[in-house]
Amino acid sequence: MTSKGHILMGKDSAKLFPQKAHTLENRRNIVELEIFESRRHLRQKVHELIQLATTTITSTEEIKRNLALIRKEFDEQLSLQLLRTLIRADSQERHTIVLLLILLNDPQTITALRHISLDEGFSRSIRLSAALVLAGMGETEETNNNVQHIHVHAMGIR
């Protein structure tokens, strides 16, 4: 018997049968490792996207294509990672993240962006960046009031 399991000897071979107590723990470790690797891969993709977007020769369409590919792979995790990066990034990187969030235009980020823009616990530049993303997405109080006002006029009601 070894620390990894029981060894059963047959006529021509030796086989290792893992102990059941360790199997559940090993599965849990594998899942945790897969989650860690997935998050690391997402951070790497976001970093590459930021580098791509800061290149002056990159078109908006190319950035949108890359955003769509990463979004397809990671779904809402991309938006969450961009929000985390917005909060932690330096000012130059933050400008690029603002652009990426505007291009992504994910409605699920609106609540978090509103919270960030109003929370004085964040620095002024972070709050302004969040407000700029909201404005770029057309999600400011002014734009929402104008849309409602336009609909009322279109119906002929004043």
Q: pLDDT digit string (tens) for 60-83?
A: 899 999 999 999 988 889 999 999
Its pTM stands at 0.68
- Rounded to whole angstroms, the Cα distance separating 55 from 111 reads 30
Backbone angles phi, psi at 9, to 5 degrees: -100, 130
The single-letter DSSP state of residue 108 is: G
- Provide the pLDDT confidence category of residue 16 given band limits of 50, 70 and 90: low
At residue 20, the pLDDT reads 55
Instruction: Convert the pLDDT of each residue in 28-39 to its tens digit.
Output: 766 666 676 778
* β-strand pairing of 14-18 with 5-9: antiparallel
Mean residue pLDDT across the chain: 79
pLDDT exceeds 60 at position 146: no
Nearest to 129, CA basis, from 111, 116, 147, 120: 116
pLDDT exceeds 90 at position 25: no
At residue 158, the pLDDT reads 46
Instruction: Convert the pLDDT of each residue in 132-143 to its tens digit.
Output: 999 999 987 765
